[in-house]
């Protein structure tokens, strides 16, 4: 029997179901809203950029809290992504670089 | 939206549309599998149980939001409000996407549209919009994209979680780099031109300030809001250009 498949923490389940609800609200929200009102261009410009901002924030936090292995891994991943546009390849090689640095130093 | 016909024909919701959507989504479906596996492994690395990881992939079904909250999951006690708010900010773009798709299927009742929208991903949206701009206004296409991606994402999560259920050392196996790398590469992939530059600079500045001076996880909220405000202020000309 697989361990943890039926193990749930109450706070975690609340967080997960909350994520599910707000995510559904964003997916249905655009269709639903348009049935009644048009999305104002201002709100649209705001909403277009929030996702990018959150992603940037997480990268900045990872860099500021990270060790040299994290920096090298991320730099490698970003470099490969810019060159090849293959995210899984970029991330895998970045991971290998970080694992290697942590193993040897 | 320029391609909307003057007198739109009513949209449809057909089985043929579902099959067409599934066919168009097949390549994306395959490429989603390694991300599902990676999510399952990373989720266990930060302390979710396999059941919780699978529940999250089933109910939220939102790759970048799910990876984003893993960055918050190690805090004790679990920052439930910050997690839900982060999911909202990462997914707020769906509101814009849905609004862009709506004019093509406005003749269909919301009781058909809203349940299908529950599984709309970035790739599924792009595939559907393209098909509809080419004249195929069939809600079935969107449903087809969902059918091809949801089981793959949930299944990938399950396998990834079960493989690593013995417990993994996050740092030793580079899982922290995996999580951060998902974002670093998606930022590269997300770049659409110079309209993104100011929002991202604002996000970097806001995040760095929040990390230095504020406790907890406010940096994510602040990064998202700074980018949104910068976009509001600086991307005005895009509207006229488009």
What mean pLDDT is predicted for residues A65-82? 95
Q: Which residue has the tokens 């984003």?
A: B68
Token readout for B149 is 């991606």
Do the Cβ atoms of A47 and B93 come closer than 8 Å?
yes
Reply yes or no on whether the pLDDT at B178 is more than 60.
Answer: yes
Per-residue confidence band for B4, with pLDDT thresholds at 50, 70 and 90: low
If you average pLDDT over every residue of chain B, what do you get? Answer: 87
- Residue B133 is predicted with a pLDDT of 83
Q: Which ipTM score applies to this complex?
A: 0.81
Is B62 within 8 Å of A23 when comparing Cβ atoms?
yes
- Residue B117 is predicted with a pLDDT of 97
Domain ranges of chain A: 1-39, 51-105
Q: Return the ∠ at Cα B206 (arms to B203 and B208), rounded to 5°.
A: 105
Looking at the DSSP bridge assignments, the partners of residue B219 are none
What mean pLDDT is predicted for residues A71-86? 95
- Nearest CB neighbour to B94, from listed A7, A30, A95: A30
- Residue A105 is predicted with a pLDDT of 85
Interface test with A, best of B82, B99, B115, B229 (most A CBs within 10 A): B99
From chain B, the residues in CB contact with A7 under 8 A are 49-52
- Residue B30 is predicted with a pLDDT of 80
> B216: phi > 0 → left, psi -120 to 50 → alpha, else beta; which?
left
- Residue A5 is predicted with a pLDDT of 80
Residues of chain B above pLDDT 90, percent: 49
Q: Indicate the SS3 state at residue B49.
A: coil
- Nearest CB neighbour to B118, from listed A27, A35, A39: A27
Q: Indicate the SS3 state at residue B11.
A: coil
Residues B69, B62: Cα–Cα separation, whole Å = 11
Reply yes or no on whether the pLDDT at B32 is more than 90.
Answer: no
- Residue B240 is predicted with a pLDDT of 44
Query: Closest approach of chain B CAs to the CA of A89, in angstroms?
Result: 10
Do the Cβ atoms of A31 and B107 come closer than 8 Å?
no
pLDDT 10s digits, B128-137: 988 888 889 9
Reply yes or no on whether the pLDDT at A80 is more than 90.
Answer: yes
What mean pLDDT is predicted for residues B163-187? 80
Reply yes or no on whether the pLDDT at B236 is more than 70.
Answer: no
- Residue B69 is predicted with a pLDDT of 94
* DSSP 8-state symbol, B105: G
pLDDT 10s digits, A20-68: 999 999 999 989 988 787 778 888 788 778 878 888 988 999 999 899 9
Chain B interface includes A4 (CB < 8 A): yes
What b/e string do you get for A6-22 counting C-beta neighbours within 10 Å, with b at 16 or more? eeeeeebeebbebbbeb
Per-residue confidence band for B1, with pLDDT thresholds at 50, 70 and 90: very low
pLDDT 10s digits, B58-70: 999 998 899 999 9
Look at B111 and B96; give whichever has higher pLDDT: B111
Reply yes or no on whether the pLDDT at B165 is more than 80.
Answer: no
Residues of chain A above pLDDT 90, percent: 60
> B4: phi > 0 → left, psi -120 to 50 → alpha, else beta; which?
beta
Reply yes or no on whether the pLDDT at B242 is more than 50.
Answer: no
From chain B, the residues in CB contact with A10 under 8 A are none
Chain A interface includes B51 (CB < 8 A): yes
Chain A interface includes B90 (CB < 8 A): yes
Token readout for B82 is 């910050």
Reply yes or no on whether the pLDDT at B160 is more than 50.
Answer: yes
Do the Cβ atoms of B27 and B55 come closer than 8 Å?
no
Reply yes or no on whether the pLDDT at A10 is more than 90.
Answer: yes
């Amino acid at each position: 029997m697989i361990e943890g498949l039926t193990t749930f923490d109450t706070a975690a389940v609340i967080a997960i179901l909350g994520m599910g609800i707000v995510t559904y609200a964003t997916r249905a929200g655009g269709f639903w809203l348009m049935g009644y009102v048009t999305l104002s261009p201002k709100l649209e410009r705001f909403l277009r950029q929030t996702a990018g901002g959150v992603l940037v924030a997480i990268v900045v936090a990872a860099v500021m809290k990270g060790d040299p292995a994290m920096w090298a891994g991320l730099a490698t991943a970003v470099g490969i992504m810019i060159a090849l546009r293959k995210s899984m390849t970029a991330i895998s090689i970045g991971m290998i670089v970080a694992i290697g640095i942590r193993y040897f130093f | 939206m320029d391609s909307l016909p003057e007198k739109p024909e009513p949209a449809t919701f057909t089985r043929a549309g579902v099959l067409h959507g599934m066919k168009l989504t097949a390549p994306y479906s395959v490429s989603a599998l390694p991300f599902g596996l990676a999510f399952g492994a990373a989720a266990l690395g930060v302390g979710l149980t396999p059941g919780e990881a699978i529940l999250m992939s089933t109910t939220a079904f939102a790759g970048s939001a799910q990876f984003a909250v893993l960055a918050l999951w190690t805090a004790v006690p679990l920052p439930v409000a910050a997690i839900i708010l982060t999911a909202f900010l990462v997914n707020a773009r769906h509101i814009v996407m849905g609004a862009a798709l709506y004019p093509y299927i406005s003749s269909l009742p919301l009781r058909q549209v809203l349940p299908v929208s529950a599984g709309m991903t970035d790739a599924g949206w792009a595939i559907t919009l393209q098909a509809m701009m080419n004249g195929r206004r069939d809600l079935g296409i969107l449903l087809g994209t969902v059918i091809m991606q949801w089981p793959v994402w949930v299944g990938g999560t399950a396998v990834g979680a079960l493989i690593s259920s013995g417990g993994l050392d996050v740092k030793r196996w580079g899982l922290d780099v995996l999580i951060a790398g998902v974002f670093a590469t998606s930022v590269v992939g997300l770049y659409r031109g110079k309209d993104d530059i100011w929002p991202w600079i604002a996000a970097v500045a806001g995040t760095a300030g929040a990390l230095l001076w504020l406790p907890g996880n406010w940096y994510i909220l602040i990064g998202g809001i700074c980018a949104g405000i910068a976009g509001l202020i600086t991307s005005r000309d895009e509207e006229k250009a488009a």
